[in-house]
Amino acid sequence: MSRGSYHHGNLRQALVDATVGLIEQKGPAAFTLAEAARLAGVSAAAPYRHFEGRDQLLEEVARQGYLDFAARLEAAFGGGRPSALSAFLRMGQAYLTFASEKPGFYIAMFESGLSIAGNAELSAAADRAQEALLTGATALFARIPADRRPPPIMVANHIWAMSHGVVELFGRGRPGSRVPVTAADMLESGVLIYLRGLGVIPS
């Protein structure tokens, strides 16, 4: 790809796409802005038209990742049909699918050490993803008396942590390949055991 192939309107996205590839190859800390520019086919100075530096480019990758991630979670929940439980389990599978299909974005979001609070647009995108899980968790306990419901945010965060743990187990070096279950089965069984303990599922 020659320099100048990207016009002003899509240079920003070209740099994001290049950075995703570099993250997948090298990790979130081992690439430079110049490398992203070279991979995008532009001069080393070109990225500065859109980004102040490498960290801001990485934040944009994470922001786009969170938006895609949130949209997948929302679609998986699908209004809680046919039941809140089945919809919630679909959200867990959507989490695993995203991590598998978009590893560069996933790493930027969760493993790059970015400060989400320092970027309003990134923070809003991350909040949207958490809100999707919170909606699912709230629906799970709708039929349980209010005085017996656990805080939905606690449940959402526990499931998020469980999902992230399964991704790590079956992703980085694949230590999960040593166990006789799939990532999807491990996550679903773990979620069901957790929800049974909270009284969502009868013993």
Q: Is the dihedral of CA 34, 38, 44, 46 positive or negative?
A: negative
Residue bearing the bigger pLDDT, 45 or 75: 75
Q: Say what the pLDDT of residue 174 is.
A: 62
Tokens matching residue 111: 């493993």
Residues 160 and 154 sit within 8 Å (Cβ to Cβ): no
Q: Say what the pLDDT of residue 8 is.
A: 47
Q: Which helix (H) or strand (E) holds 189?
A: helix 183-197
- Domains, the chain, ranges and CATH? 1-51 (1.10.10), 56-197 (1.10.357.10)
C-beta atoms surrounding 9 within 10 Å: 7
Which range among 46-50, 127-131, 135-139, 150-154 shows the weakest confidence by mean pLDDT?
Answer: 46-50
Cα–Cα distance for residue pair 20/47, rounded to 1 Å: 15
Cα–Cα distance for residue pair 178/174, rounded to 1 Å: 8
5 pLDDT tier (thresholds 50, 70, 90): very low
Residues 41 and 3 sit within 8 Å (Cβ to Cβ): yes
* Percent above pLDDT 90 for the chain: 61
pLDDT tens-digit readout, 16-25: 999 999 999 9
pLDDT tens-digit readout, 101-135: 999 999 999 988 888 888 999 999 999 999 999 99
pLDDT at 1 over 60: no
